[in-house]
Chains A and B, each alone.
Chain A
Amino acid sequence: MSEIEEPGGPAEPVEPPEPGVPRRVIGTPSPTPVSVDVEEKPAQPPVVTDPPDKAHASRAEKLVAFLFVLAFVAGCGFIAAYVGLEVGSDRLPAGANPVDAVFRSNLALGLSLSVVLLSLGLGSMIWVRHLTPDQEIVEERHDLQSTPAERAAFQKEFAEGAALSQVTKRPLLRRTLLLATAPLALAPLVLLRDLGPLPGTSLRTTVWRKGLRAVTLGGLRPLRPSDMDTPGEMITVIPEGFQDNPDALAKAGVILIKFAPGQMSWPDRYEGGTLVASMNWTIDNIVAYSKICTHVGCPVALYEQTTHHILCPCHQSTFDAANGAWVIFGPAPRPLPQLPLMLDSDGYLAAASDFTQPVGPSFWERG
């Protein structure tokens, strides 16, 4: 265990360990031999089929056999679990919890299959490592090319077959056959059409428009400013009438945050000539921000009312809600777009327009 020697058989002289050579670390390859005699072709040692240590091999054999029996038992258990543990509410006794039944079944199936595969793998590895003699055997590789006689015979048979099929003599058949297969060959290219159509301008706009009410997600109630009378309130809202339109909701989710008077302060902010955030877009110190993170589009609603931070739970982008959702930490490239708010004729909170910039993550044509 403690001695370090050069690898090799007993015939080679044993070299003393060189000073300064680090000890062999488990998992690393053994050191290369110091010198190799290229002139002398190594004699192929006779193949020994028996393992060197009979007692050790016998112990390993018993262990492998035990693992294989274990795999057999667990495999039977898999079948028994599949047959015995019913799932599906129509096959369960009345009153049984179908979710519980699925959990039980999954656990039994997964555990038994894991034991089968693990035992098989471990048994095979122990077999190879402790029962098969560790012996290097050189296998000569032969040319892949066939003999000239075989090749000549094949050429002759091919020519005869082509003549028999008359494919060379009847161009009409040959060409119509090619024609018949052409659509099948082209079909995969046509199927690529399903990758489209290109999004066009749809990524730039949402369904929010002037006068569209904001309703709570879940309760679907429109809100008056008096419904958010406590500073520190926050709620997720969606455009009214779009609760069953996932495509629209994917971009139109908005969080409303109520501030105390004077807590919010930021100048008008422009992006490429477009006004993207302004104090004037709030109603009664209620501000509306897109709920879609500008990094990769996770829903951001992790709002700390003490610090006015909006956090994205995915990558910890942090926005300052009191300052135009300015990015103060994390990978988000832009502040959250602000939705201009207004009161409709009934006094409910509604959008004054669509967002003035594309919501959500960057995309190729966004600019």
Chain B
Amino acid sequence: MSSIIARRRHPAAGYAAVAGGLVVAGVLYSALGSAGASAAAPAQAQTQIAQGKALFEDSCSSCHGLDAQGTTQAPSLVGAGAAAVYFQMSTGRMPAKELGAENERKPSDFSEAQIYDIAAYIASLGGGPPIPSAAQVSTAGANTALGEELFSTNCAQCHGFAGAGGALTYGKDAPPLTASTPTQIYTAMLTGPEAMPVFGDGTVTPNEKRDIIAYIVDTRNEPNPGGLSLGRTGTVTEGLLAWVGGLGFLVLIAMWLTAKRRRPGNGETKEES
């Protein structure tokens, strides 16, 4: 202290005092400012969670239980995560119309904001992957060729090589991916809805997920050779058309060829009917 007092008349003392004052002010401001922001964020999140809880109690709790703990009809959603809520609700699968083998895609009755509210509520119960941001599902600069390899390795068995979907056991099915948004595809891989296995970030990295999405989106724009897509389900429809249409036509031709024809001139008046 004594050394400071001794140097208070030093020519640099004024600059030092100003610099010190600025540092103190800056530290105080940033500390107070960030404290204010971090105090505001939980408040906003709390509102969202509260809104989500209200929506959940209205529309979901009859099956999943008032506290999302699950009932005999529906599983517990504790630990399901926001991504699972987003996939199920944005594709219209939840709320389910009925208890069946498979919940089919239908127009969603909820707005994007409402779905995010419910997702925030479910996420607040603990665990589960979050909803990816728009940048996380962007296909800009994605490696479509790698996406094709990953898709044909891990997805095509159920969804078909062009994403047209396919049948599973006991009335379940792998839905077509023709209407799925990138976020829905991403959240489906992340959460493994219904019978679909989970493709977590450890096995399929976020970048690889974007590559797969890019392949699925690109494939939709591919032209169809011959003009007819035949549903793009591959050999099933093509075989059906070949057997029923093609062979049926050939059988009709063969019947026509072997049928006895009318001979109007030589007295045979009959004709096979």
By a beta-carbon cutoff of 8 Å, the part of chain A in contact with chain B is 1-5, 7-10, 23-27, 29-30, 51-53, 56, 97, 99-100, 103, 106-107, 110, 125, 129-130, 134, 216-219, 221, 223-224, 226-236, 256-258, 299-307, 309, 311, 313, 318
In the bound complex, do residue A52 and residue B255 qualify as a contact, i.e. CB atoms below 8 Å apart?
Answer: no
Contact between A301 and B157, CB atoms less than 8 A apart? yes
The answer on a CB contact under 8 Å between B195 and A305 is: yes
Nearest A-chain residue to B168, judged by Cβ: A304
Q: A26-B273, A232-B192 are in contact. Are A107 and B267 (CB under 8 A)?
A: no
Q: How far is the CA of A235 from the CA of B209 in the complex (A)?
A: 13
B197 and A311 contact, CB distance less than 8 A:
no
Could you tell me the distance in whole angstroms from the C-beta of B17 to the nearest C-beta in chain A?
Answer: 54
Look across to chain A and name the residue whose beta carbon is closest to the beta carbon of B195.
Answer: A304
Cα of A307 to Cα of B260 in the assembled complex, Å: 59
Question: Does the CB pair B202–A227 fall under 8 Å?
Answer: yes
Q: Which of A130, A223, A303 interacts with B203 by CB under 8 Å?
A: A223
The reply to whether the CB of B266 lies closer than 8 angstroms to some CB of chain A is yes
Q: Inside 8 A of A234's CB, which chain B residues have their CB? A: 154, 197-199
B102 to chain A, nearest CB (A): 11
Chain B residues within 8 Å of A, Cβ to Cβ: 146, 149-150, 153-154, 157-158, 166, 168-170, 172, 192, 194-200, 202-205, 208, 222-227, 254-255, 257-261, 263-273
Question: Contacts A107-B227, A223-B202 known; A218 to B146 CB distance under 8 Å?
Answer: yes
Q: Which residue of A lies closest to B159 (CB)?
A: A302
**Nearest CB to that of B258 among chain A residues?**
A27
Does B153 lie within 8 Å of A5, measured CB to CB? Answer: no
Known: A27-B254, A256-B203, A304-B172. 17 other contacts (CB 8 A): A8-B268, A53-B265, A103-B223, A107-B227, A218-B150, A224-B202, A226-B202, A227-B200, A232-B198, A233-B200, A234-B198, A234-B199, A236-B153, A304-B169, A305-B192, A305-B195, A311-B169
Knowing A106-B225, A134-B261, the reply to whether A219 touches B158 (Cβ < 8 A) is no
Indicate whether A306 sits within 8 Å of B200 (C-beta atoms), given known contacts A10-B267, A53-B264, A218-B150.
Answer: no
- Cα distance A100–B154 when bound, in Å? 28
Q: How far is the CA of A5 from the CA of B263 in the complex (A)?
A: 13
| B255 cross-chain contacts in A, Cβ below 8 A | 26-27
Majority secondary structure, B binding face: loop
18 chain-A/chain-B pairs, Cβ below 8 angstroms? A7-B260, A10-B267, A25-B272, A26-B272, A27-B259, A52-B264, A97-B223, A103-B224, A107-B225, A134-B263, A227-B203, A229-B202, A232-B198, A235-B199, A235-B204, A301-B154, A305-B197, A313-B157
Are the C-beta atoms of A24 and B169 separated by less than 8 Å? no
Contacts of A134 in B (CB 8 A): 261, 263, 266
CA distance A192 to B107 in the complex (A): 63
Contacts A30-B260, A134-B261, A233-B198 known; A219 to B226 CB distance under 8 Å? no
Query: Who on chain B is nearest to A27 by CB?
Result: B255
Query: Which of B222, B254, B259 lies at the interface centre, i.e. has the most chain A CB atoms within 10 A of its CB?
Result: B259
Given A5-B268, A219-B208, A311-B168, A302 and B157 contact (CB-CB distance below 8 Å): yes
A257-B200 Cα distance, complex, nearest whole Å: 12
For A25, list chain B residues within 8 Å (CB): 272
Task: Enumerate chain B residues within 8 angstroms of A300, measured Cβ to Cβ.
Answer: 157
Whole-angstrom CA separation of A99 from B224 in the bound complex: 10
- Could you tell me the distance between the alpha carbons of A229 and B205 in the complex, rounded to whole angstroms? 14
- Contact call B169/A26, Cβ cutoff below 8 A: no
Q: Within the assembled complex, what's the spacing in Å between the Cα atoms of A4 and B225?
A: 50
CB neighbours (8 Å) of B222 from chain A are 99
Task: Chain B residues near A311: list those with CB within 8 A.
Answer: 157, 168-169
A29 and B272 CA atoms in complex are apart in Å by: 11
Residues of chain A with a CB closer than 8 A to B270's CB: 1, 3-5
Q: Give A236 to B149 CA distance when docked, in angstroms.
A: 11
Q: Give the docked Cα–Cα distance between A306 and B194 (Å).
A: 7
Asked whether B268 lies within 8 Å of A7 as measured between CB atoms, the reply is yes
Q: Which of A52, A107, A256, A302 has the most CB of B within 10 A?
A: A302
Chain A residues near B194: list those with CB within 8 A.
306
The answer to whether A56 and B203 touch (CB under 8 A), given A3-B270, A100-B223, A236-B153, is no
